[in-house]
Amino acid sequence: MGLTNNDIFKKLRVAHKLRDDDIVKICALVDFKVTKSEIGAIFRSEDHPKYMECGDQFLRNFLNGLIIHLRGPMPEKKPKKKQD
């Protein structure tokens, strides 16, 4: 069996030493609202009654926010000048 989205999310959290507050702020960078309780539910064990699966959209938004958090926002593209 391969890695689930929950496994990937947990590994990223540990690798980047992120707390729940950090994850909420990272998701806010891409206008994705998430609560601490939702994050807690994702990190619970699978046999816990309040366990929640990490969906593709949740992980995608977190990864996009993490890119902005680590690299900064993407700079504006300048239009190329025409040469005659």
Q: How many CA atoms within 13 Å lie on the side-chain side of 48?
A: 11
pLDDT of residue 65: 95
pLDDT of residue 80: 77
Within 5-82, residue ranges assigned H as helices are 5-15, 20-28, 36-42, 56-71
pLDDT of residue 84: 59
pLDDT along the chain (84 residues), means of 10: 90 95 95 94 93 94 94 80 69
**What are the residue boundaries of the structural domains of the chain, listed by start?**
20-71
Structural tokens at position 26: 């990272």
